[in-house]
Structure 1
Amino acid sequence: MTISGAPVGQFSVWDYVVFVVMLLISASIGVYHAIKDRGQQSNSQYLLGGRQLRAVPVAMSLTASFMSAVTVIGTPAEVYRYGAIFLIFCFSYAVVTIVSAEIFLPIFYNLNITSTYEYLSMRFNKSARYIGTTFYIIQTVLYTGIVIYAPALALNQVTGLDLWGVLVATGLVCTFYCTLGGLKAVVWTDVFQMGIMIAGFLAVIIRGVVVQGSFERIWNISYHGGRLNFWDFDPDPLRRHTVWTIAVGGSFMWTAIYGINQSQVQRYIACINKCEAKLSLYLNMVGLWLTAICAVFTGLTLYSIYHQCDPLTEGEVRAPDQLLPYLVMDILKDYPGVPGIFVAAAYSGTLSTVSSSINALAAVTVEDFIKPHITLSEKKLSWITKGLSLMYGIICIGMGALSSLMGSILQAALTIFGIVGGPLLGFFLLGMIFPCANSIGAISGLAGSILLTLWIGIGGHVYPPLPEHTRPLPLSVAGCFFNNTERPELVTGSPWTTIDPVTELNNRPAIADTLYSISYLYLSPIGTLTVLILGLIVSLLTGGMKNKVDQKLLITLRGRCCCNSAKASVKSEIENTKETMDGLADTGKDNPTFSGQELNYSEKQNHIQSMTHL
């Protein structure tokens, strides 16, 4: 039931205009960079922007890449049902930023690699690299499917368009856009799309304050409804969200995203030097804080308006993730074009995330599976990369269709990162921290960890946690103006209800109330620690103490200085490339790999020249 008692509105002509303009601007940015760089056939230029990117656009791209439609739609619904404790993730963002900037970034940047998983072959062996890349591809395809499904759900709610038609259209637009341009086009489009996402949040918050009369009223209603539950220090690991589950579990989960995930690492190692790369991560932290605060306040606004008449219980919406689109068309229906901004915000999040994911998937496939085995010119590699982008786009569309079966899109997305991301984080940390770790131990640790987290994840899906650990906060229907003859169960029953059914307690094994019921946020630290412990034990039992490891592959204090070490690293690479060029010149320039190496040499010269003017 709406706040006015009238049905929610539908998209107007101006809403479609705003939405289409957003798409055209995003596409035009991609087309512009595709045309601008059409003469540069280097695969490195396509995947890394020639390593010439600056901190501010990269920071906004980093934020937009994972603060997607899942955030725009899922986080406010999370706050509406479970409270504003989600804001504690801001602490996790700070921890993750420092760890990524000071530990992972120096190693990856100094190695001058394109695929994160190249590190695994340098530290362990090729098998470790292939295994790590395979798990990354699986994880990213699953996550990207959820991201495609989220805005399709929003458009279905606010426009009435067919859900599956919109889902396919979303995937096709993202695939087309990503295949057009390289990383540079993706980054600059993310800058625009990040602004649209924030504008969508602000439109809802500002209108909500006007409807309620003041922000103080929103705050008071949220307080009395138990939504300002920031400081829940209950140590029970079975509780879904507490300060401990978010601070500890969230830190591990987001470190797996910003520390080793190809989609993120590929952006900051594309910066012009290490100083800019680190700055991009710290600016990204501010962007994450801003987005999280906007999303939480949007959720509180949502609760303050429907705190006496829950649309989900009333049957006005079918799923929690449709609550915010429903609110938008309820309170903004009299302002043509403004609902279009919200849908554009959700769609912007999708474009940024999916394009980033597809670009990264193509990058790791080329770098880890094709280049080590086949010698091709840079031009051919560039065409293969674009073809892979198209293929992965189609695969992600198919996964989007399956995402409708995963329940809450926010928890589904974070669970995927816990099951796969945690073990992968441990895989890298094992090699970076312990010189005695060998390939046998690392692969054994990863296999055991994946099996454990997958077992817990599947068990938690088959046997959902007990209601007392996951039940949403109370939601009222006392203020609904429904027809008593049509909804008698709501008249005779209690005015307070919850939207999750009581879990069937019969035939539950004992482990279902312990291990299977553990908070989904703890999957990531469990996976990471299992790899470290099991991997270290197996390594020591298989002769790991005899290892001799290059210091640049380990976490050390050496080489942490920003600009000088970056410049020295690239200068060294230039000298090596020049020696290769001189050798090719002596043997003849008809070598099929000559043109690509010549182009890379020119790019690196430009890199050095730009750094000397800093």
Structure 2
Amino acid sequence: MTPTVTGRLGFCVEDYVVFGAMLAVSLFIGVFQSLRSGGAEDFFTGGRQMRAGPVGMSLCASFMSAVQVLGVPAESYLYGFKFLYMCVGQSANSLITAVLFLPVYYRLGITSSNQYLMMRFGRGMQLLGSLQFIIVTLLYTGIVILAPALILNQATGLNMWASLFSTGLVCTFYTTLGGMKAVIWTDVFQVLVMLSGFIAIIIQGTTLVGGPARVLHAAYNGSRINFNDFGLDPQRRYSFWSFTVGGTMVWLSMYAANQAQIQRYISCQTERQAQWALLVNQVGLWLIVSCAAACGVVMFALYSHCDPLKSGKITAPDQYMPYFVLDIFRDLPGVPGLFLACAYSGTLSTVSTSINAMAAVTMEDLLKPLLIDSSQRNRTLLSKILSFLYGGACVTTAALCSFLNWGVLQGSFTVMGVVNGPLLGAFILGMFVPATNKLGVFAGVGVGFSLALWLAIGSSVYPPTPARMGVLPTSAERCAAANATANYTTPLTTPLKQNRSSGLQDFYSISYLYFGALSTGVTVLAGLAVSCLSGPTKRDSIRPGLLWWDLKLKARDVSEENTVGSIRLRSTIVRLNPEEDEDEEEKLQMKSGSVL
């Protein structure tokens, strides 16, 4: 672990009181929702009665963790305001997901996204998808839990293990008690905390710099207002193309093929509500990313002549944000605690989402065939036990992730690209390429995963130089000479090998945002090629409703008004398990007025 910085600022009692209040509210929401929860279906999908507003904010919070709260401002500080192009990739992802992927999941009425893989490619692909999802979620959640604990420990002295275990225990507690409803409503609260923290930081930082005009002047002179970066060099860490092409595919793997998000879509009352939730989510993403990037630019304006990393006040770029907050709020006790709550709100939302999603996948994909004769009460109890166990697994993984040497943002996006990228390719093959067969999709996922893993390992061994990545200059000219002792090498990692050559080693150095796009693209191409060579699937052999353009099967909502109120009944024509009692399905169809 990197040595801590001496002579640092720290948190006071008021800061911990603010942080404790945030944890207390999250716990209260979990307890409150546990009193209203029903059976296992209610535990994982909120009874499929959630509305667009809270679900959209929950979608937004799911991947806006402390990784983004701490990582995005640091990246904006080092690479400029062009980080806002990330919003373009996020917007493209939301549109594609709402139009192409969401309708398929919602109309099938599934609880686990991997149930689609079973219906399209069989039980083997479902198990592979479940395994991949659990692996990527454990790794991602480990990074999310560890990041704030480690960074705040190094920057402020906050005990790393105390913060790590408190985060894991609080998330596990309210997720185990309240299920999906608790996750969604705590996410809503935590998004508000995140935005409040960012706004307070921007206002105070801008005031200390001397106003918005001075911030923009310093940012412009320091090349931080750099929206004209349209270069095609794939080794540049961030450019318009890496954000719009690579970024879109990374976010698509999170939103179109990740159980944590799909579980929220199907918790909505109607398909239209789910699509509106994606729009609400996008507005939230714009606000959070814009505020985080603005914090980085304000930070640069304040430290344009005395970079904290070069002056030795911090030891890693991930510590920029906590140092900045403690510096500007040193005379306002309690306000740094809002930032602490801001960082941990993101962590809580992501971890609780992950725990609930992994429990849902395990229950629906792995254990459900063994629980046919089990009562609803026993299923609900088992669901809560799974949530508790996965909470403990996430904390354990966080401890193991302390051995990684990635920056928080790169680490999280790399994990998603390596594991979720090929899984996204499998869903694309299933929904949009009718010719794909079982052998093809297995081959495609295998090739895509191998390529992404190879790139991730290679990029750790042969990272590009700061100049190739496009790191912008920083200055320490006005710092005390005694403090200017740090040697700045690369923003996120130290090369394991200094002697670099061209060719293959340069290929390893492409931007981490392209990892997911490459793995997904290779998965689709390899899957299609193998399917065609081994005998493509015949169109008429594919079950109705599994292809995006197959509109023969559509969940129909029929509303019946009566004197008491409104009753909404939805009939899902394609059932998850064909062996289920067809009489009950027929009764439901008669109630809703739908006809096969």
Does 2:20 correspond to 1:27? no
Shift of 1:581: 7.6
Query: Residue 426 of structure 2 corresponds to which residue in structure 1?
Result: 427
Counterpart position of 1:526: 518
What per-residue deviation string (whole Å, max 9, x for no partner) do you get for residues 477-516 of structure 1? 1011243xx75x68xx9xx987678857665465443321
Query: Are 1:379 and 2:371 matched, yes or no?
Result: no
TM-score normalised by length of structure 2: 0.90
Q: Indicate the residue corresponding to 1:475 in structure 2.
A: 474
Structure 2 Cα separation of the partners of residues 181 and 501 of structure 1: 40
The change in CA–CA distance for 1:545 and 1:271 in structure 2 (over 3 A counts) is closer
Q: Which moved more, 1:176-185 or 1:374-383?
A: 374-383
Q: Which amino acid aligns with 1:93?
A: Q
3-state SS of the aligned residue for 1:181? helix
1:17-49 superposed Cα distances (whole Å, 9 cap, x missing partner): 211111111100110011233xx2x11010001
Report the Cα distance in structure 1 between the residues aligned to 2:559 and 2:97, rounded to whole angstroms.
17
The answer (yes or no) to whether the contact 2:75–2:296 under 8 Å persists in 1 is yes
1:449 aligns with 2:442: no
Change (3 A) 1:234 1:256: same
2:119 & 2:582 partners in 1: Cα distance? 27
Deviation digits for residues 167-224 of structure 1, max 9, x if unmatched? Answer: 2222222222221211011101111110000011011100011111211111111111
Structure 2 residue matching 1:227: 3-state secondary structure:
coil
Measure the CA separation in 1 of the matches of 2:590 and 2:155.
Answer: 52
In structure 2, give the amino acid aligned to 1:410. Answer: L
User: What is the alpha-carbon distance in structure 1 between the residues aligned to residue 34 and residue 569 of structure 2?
Assistant: 30
Q: Which runs of 5+ in 2 are unaligned?
A: 1-5, 561-567
Shift, 1:551, TM fit = 3.6
Name the amino acid aligned to 1:29. I
**Residue 368 of structure 1: how far off its partner (Å):** 0.6
CA apart distance, 1:7? 6.1
Task: Measure, in 1, the Cα distance between the counterparts of 2:231 and 2:575.
Answer: 57
Q: 1:44–1:468: structure 2 CA closer, same or farther, 3 Å change rule?
A: same
- How many Å apart are 1:354 and its aligned residue? 0.2
Match of 1:543 among 532, 535, 552: 535
Matches within 5 A, 1:139-288: 139-157=136-154, 159-288=156-285
Query: Could you tell me how far 1:83 is from its partner in structure 2?
Result: 1.4
* 1:274–1:563 CA contact under 8 A, matched in 2: no
Q: Which amino acid aligns with 1:13?
A: V
Which residue of 2 is the match for residue 593 of structure 1?
none
**1:556 equivalenced with 2:549 (yes/no):** yes
Alpha-carbon offset, residue 317 of structure 1 = 1.5
Question: By percentage of residues, which structure has more helix?
Answer: 1
Matched, 1:395 2:393: yes
Relative to 1, partners in 2 of residues 1:500 and 1:537: Cα closer, same or farther, differing over 3 Å?
closer
Do the aligned partners of residues 248 and 569 (structure 1) sit closer, same or farther apart at CA in structure 2, a change above 3 Å counting?
farther
Could you tell me how far 1:283 is from its partner in structure 2? Answer: 1.3
1:17 maps to: 17
Matches of 2:100 and 2:376, distance apart in 1: 32
Secondary structure of 2:369's aligned partner? coil
Distance 1:181 1:531, change over 3 A: same
Shift of 1:166: 2.0
Pair 1:91-2:70 in alignment = no
Match for 1:308: what amino acid?
Answer: H
Distance 1:397 1:295 in 2: 26
SS of the equivalent of 1:312 reads coil
The reply on whether 1:138 has 2:135 as its aligned counterpart is: yes
- For residues 80 and 282 of structure 2, the distance between their equivalents in structure 1, rounded to whole angstroms, comes to 23
Pick which of 496-505 and 152-161 moved more.
496-505
In structure 2, distance between residues paired with 1:508 and 1:482 = 33
Contact kept in structure 1, 2:74 and 2:321, CA below 8 Å:
yes
| Sequence identity percentage | 44
CA contact (8 A) 2:460 2:496 kept: no
Contact 2:168 2:392 (8 Å CA) reproduced: yes
Aligned to 2:72: 75
Secondary structure of 2:264's aligned partner: helix
* 1:282 shift after superposition: 1.0
Query: Over residues 274-293 of structure 1, what are the superposed CA-to-partner deviations in whole Å (9 max), with x where a residue is unaligned?
Result: 11111000111111111111
* Alignment partner, residue 332 of structure 2: 335
Whether the 8 Å contact between 2:311 and 2:476 is mirrored in structure 1 is: yes
Which residue does the alignment assign to 1:411?
410
CA distance in 2, matches of 1:559, 1:333: 63
Structure 1 pair 338–504 and aligned structure 2 pair: CA distance change class (3 A): closer
* 8 Å Cα contact 2:556/2:572 also seen in 1: no
Match of 2:565 in 1: none
C-alpha distance in structure 1 between counterparts of 2:120 and 2:420, whole Å:
19
CA RMSD of aligned residues (A): 3.0
**Cα distance in 2, alignment partners of residues 191 and 211 from structure 1:** 31
- Alignment match, 1:304: 301
Q: Structure 1 stretch 498-507 or stretch 439-448: which is displaced more?
A: 498-507
Q: Indicate how the Cα distance of structure 1 residues 471 and 500 shifts in structure 2: closer, same or farther if over 3 A, else same.
A: farther
Measure the CA separation in 1 of the matches of 2:514 and 2:501. 21
**Residue 517, structure 1, aligned to residue 500, structure 2:** no
Q: Residues 277 and 171 of structure 1: is their aligned pair in 2 closer, same or farther, counting only changes over 3 Å?
A: same
Further displaced range: 468-477 or 525-534: 468-477
Question: Measured at CA, do residues 559 and 344 of structure 1 come closer, stay the same or move farther in structure 2, by a change above 3 Å?
Answer: farther
Kindly state the Cα deviation for residue 541 of structure 1 after the two structures are TM-superposed.
1.7
After superposing the two structures, state which structure 1 stretch, 549-558 or 284-293, moved more: 549-558
Matched residues in 1 for 2:48 and 2:461: separation?
Answer: 46
CA contact (8 A) 2:556 2:571 kept: no
SS across alignment from 1:371: helix
Q: CA deviation at 1:545?
A: 4.2
| Equivalent residues in 2 for 1:354-365, closer than 5 Å | 354-365=351-362
Per the TM alignment, residue 559 of structure 1 is displaced from its structure 2 partner at its CA by 6.7
Q: Distance in 2 between matches of 1:575 and 1:322?
A: 50
Unaligned runs of 5+ in 1: 1-5, 585-596, 610-614
Change (3 A) 1:500 1:415: closer
**Residue 223 to residue 566, structure 1, CA distance change in 2 (3 Å):** farther
How much does 1:252 deviate? 0.7
CA distance in structure 1 between the aligned counterparts of 2:255 and 2:438, rounded to whole angstroms:
24
Q: Deviations over 1:536-587 (max 9, x none)?
A: 111112221435112410121737999759999923569999x978969xxx
Change (3 A) 1:360 1:228: same
Structure 1 residues 114 and 199, CA, compared in 2 at 3 Å: closer, same or farther?
same
- Tell me what 2:564 maps to: none
Report how many residues are paired.
576
Structure 1 range deviating more: 504-513 or 379-388: 504-513
**Alignment map for 1:317-356 (pairs within 5 Å):** 317-356=314-353
- Work out the CA distance in 1 between the residues paired with 2:287 and 2:444: 37
Shift in CA distance, 402/313, structure 1 to aligned 2, threshold 3 Å: farther
Question: How far did residue 301 of structure 1 move?
Answer: 1.0
Structure 2: distance between partners of 1:108 and 1:278 = 12
- For 1:206 and 1:374, the matched residues in 2 are separated by 55
Aligned partners of 1:465 and 1:513 also within 8 Å = no
Question: In structure 1, how many angstroms separate the alpha carbons of the residues matched to 2:532 and 2:582?
Answer: 45
Asked whether the 8 Å contact 1:559–1:565 carries over to 2, the reply is no
* 1:403 Cα deviation from its structure 2 partner: 3.0
Aligned to 1:570, the other structure's residue is in SS state strand
Contact 2:149 2:164 (8 Å CA) reproduced: yes
**Alpha-carbon distance, 1:467 to partner:** 4.0
Instruction: Give the C-alpha shift of residue 145 in structure 1.
Output: 0.5
Change (3 A) 1:84 1:576: closer
